[in-house]
Amino acid sequence: MSKLKIVTIVGARPQFVKAASLSKILRTRFREVLVNTGQHYDFYMSQIFFDQLAIPKPDYNLGVGSGSHAWQTGALLTRIEKVLLREKPDWVLVYGDTNSTLAGALAAAKLRIPLIHVEAGLRSHDMSMPEEVNRIITDHVSTLLFCPTKTATNNLKKEGIAKGVYNVGDVMCDAFLDYIRKIKSRGRETYIPPKPYALATIHRAGNTDSKIVLKHILRAFGQIPMPIYFLIHPRTLKAIKKLRIQIPKNIRIKKPKGYLDMLALEKGATLILTDSGGVQKEAYFCHVPCLTLRDNTEWTETLSYGWNTLVGSRPRSLLGIIRTLNNRIRKHPNYFGQGNAAHKIAQIIGSFTK
């Protein structure tokens, strides 16, 4: 009997990390065809992850690049459809909540190919976020929905989705537990700056497209009494230059890092400031307090016991919040599994036949 064929679609930094954990497991049991959409195309946001994490070379590079949400999703939809018509897979697998996720899900649904959604069931309950729209649509056309937490399974249940839903744990937890050991064994901690320091990432359009919002954020960063290593997304750097925003003296502008260096920096940080869902979660894995520059989060578990705090996109001051962090942080529950989510996913897929 020939192996089941799975077309896996990736295109952005968090999806590369998840694929690093899952693809190597899938390929022991199935035939995987890997499609890189090119949604993230900067070397430090894309190729470095394939190099460092030994992700299999993509079978297809669609090279979509940047554009409006509508244009990018439409361009991806037509390009992914061509791949699926050519490959005729048994399953299509998508991760998370990007435009690559949505386009892959719609293409599979239109061609009536069963869809697997890894990281299903997340909800921020904010429909102004493109990611929230992508998540909801993808979940509602999926055949197998692999949830990272109990909260995610409950979200799906509230929306009437119960069939094909599995709480397997988080594949990003798999990656973290695997690669944090490799960082220690390779001495990569030598890349960590002198303590104390904060680590910052800002990339969401709601925070970067408005001069007023971006100035509020950077002004609040400037009041923090420690160096801030700002790993700057290309979109954010472009916005700062275009809007001519002054950078406070305590901020050190740095290029985005590969996954291993990023983990080392996160692990060594005193504080993490971000609007990224993945970085919020990595901060929790590293036992480092996080301030999230958003009004909501899809990773509500990280808010428990003060590990993550929502400070909004226009914080006037962060000092008061920072001073209370040590008093609020207590327990650190394991919400995200034991590091075996990829094995569980492969086993469940294997139990299904055409």
Catalytic sites, residue numbers? 203
Question: CA 313 to CA 220: how far, in whole Å?
Answer: 10
Burial of 243 (0-12, 13-18, 19+ CB in 10 A): middle
DSSP string, 268-314: H-SEEEES-HHHHHHHHHTT--EEESSS--S-GGGGGGGSEEE--SS
- By the 8 A CB rule, do 114 and 90 touch? yes
DSSP string, 301-353: GGGGGGSEEE--SS-S--HHHHHHHHHH-------S-SS-HHHHHHHHHHT--
* 269 Cα distance to chain centroid: 19
The three-state secondary structure class of 157 is helix
Rg (CA), the chain: 20
**Residue 136 CA to its chain's centroid (Å):** 16
Nearest to 145 by CA among 354, 13, 154, 4: 154
C-alpha to C-alpha distance for 174 and 183, rounded to whole angstroms: 15
